[in-house]
Amino acid sequence: MAATRLLLLMAAALVLLVARGSDAQLSAGFYSASCPSVHGVVRQVMSQAVMNNSRSGAAILRLFFHDCFVNGCDASLLLDDTPTTPGEKGAGANAGGSTFGFDLIDDIKTQVEAACPATVSCADILALAARDSVNLLGGPSWAVPLGRRDATSPNATGAATDLPGPDSSLDRLVAAFAAKGLTSRDLAALSGAHTVGMARCLSFRTRVYCDDNVSPAFASQGRQLCPASGGDATAAPLDASTPAEFDNGYYRNLVAGAGLLHSDQELFNNGPLDSLVRLYSANGAAFSSDFAASMVRLGNVSPLTGSAGEIRIDCRKVNS
């Protein structure tokens, strides 16, 4: 009797493992026979885009995060609104952002389709482009597990609830990451993406007017740029010291009380992540290797694989 129960339990555990291990189906060599040129095509387009405007790299990196946090890394974010279905682009965290990230994905997709028709998913293109963005801006590189497929519908509700906002507390941030199977160490490392790119006044107003854990000089600079009301769209670099360089400047800012977003400074506010922030601020190599590992983990959040979903031809709409 006990033995049967044990067997049943083991069988159940196995089923659970197999089900949860769907990300194990992703592999770096997924396109090595069907589209070996995809790596070069993505790199080439990203390289030109980043040379023209470093912000492109930041925009793509952010899109990858926002895609993966809503129904997993399935390119659901890239779907445009339709008359019947609102997409994810209108959700608070996505609205008002730069649209050139979406245009850039379209450029890459067009070239990839020319080389390998109906073969490479938009979700994989985004994962490769995010990796290349980081590396082109001076950050680490890593092998990107591939084989994701594209969603056939967006989740506007998920986009409104699952992406934490800039006024989030540490508890809220940790919970949002835990809900995607990511740890607080992943949170600490992935937040280092804010070493590049910009945020609008709208996003950092609370920080420079209301927080007390802020460097006075930094807050006063921020207030000059960002009026107490109005001017919502005025942008400031997330890492003012080296805005276009993927380095550990973000963590040095946090230690100095100069995180731009309230949520940034929550990582270093006499809490459990202080020691990691100190480590990353002092040791760029430790940050780089943790960041790369956490990007792979982010990319493993609930991908569609096998025959689920589809390979979208146009990243903005489902195949007809």
Nearest to 151 by CA among 269, 236, 68, 228: 68
And the tokens for 288?
A: 């780089």
Whether 74 has a binding-site annotation, put simply, is yes
CA distance 128 to 149: 14
And the tokens for 191?
A: 């937040």
Task: Identify the active-site residue in 50, 58, 63, 66.
Answer: 66
Give the residues across from 110 on adjacent strands: none
Total residues found in the chain within this entry? 320
288 binds, among ligand HEM, ligand NAG, none (CB under 5 to 8 A by kind): none
Binding of ligand HEM by 166 (CB under 6 A): yes
Q: Which is nearer to ligand NAG, 160 or 202 (CB)?
A: 160
Pairs from 269-273 (Cβ < 8 Å, separation ≥ 24): 269/170, 269/213, 271/170, 272/170, 272/184, 273/170, 273/184, 273/187, 273/188
Of the listed pieces 27-35, 158-166, 271-279, 311-319, which binds ligand HEM according to CB under 6 A? 158-166
- CA angle 15-20-21, nearest 5°? 95
Is 262 labeled as catalytic in the residue annotation?
no
Which residue in 54, 121, 135, 155 binds ligand NAG (CB under 6 A)?
A: 155
Neighbours of 80 (CB within 10 A): 15
What is the size of the binding site for ligand HEM (CB under 6 A)? 28
And the tokens for 29?
A: 């060599």
And the tokens for 33?
A: 């026979």
DSSP 204-215: HHHHHHH-SSS-
Which residue in 1, 3, 4, 52 binds ligand NAG (CB under 6 A)?
A: 52
Which residue in 23, 74, 150, 162 binds ligand NAG (CB under 6 A)?
A: 162
Binding of ligand HEM by 181 (CB under 6 A): no
And the tokens for 199?
A: 């945020």
Binding of ligand NAG by 157 (CB under 6 A): yes
Binding of ligand NAG by 49 (CB under 6 A): yes
Of the listed pieces 34-42, 60-68, 155-163, 250-258, which binds ligand NAG according to CB under 6 A? 155-163
Q: Which is nearer to ligand NAG, 90 or 158 (CB)?
A: 158
The catalytic residues are 66
Which chain residues interact with ligand HEM by CB under 6 A?
A: 55, 58-59, 61-62, 65, 97-98, 164-166, 168, 173, 187, 190-191, 193-194, 196-200, 202-203, 238, 261, 263
Which chain residues interact with ligand NAG by CB under 6 A?
A: 49, 52-53, 71, 155, 157-158, 161-162
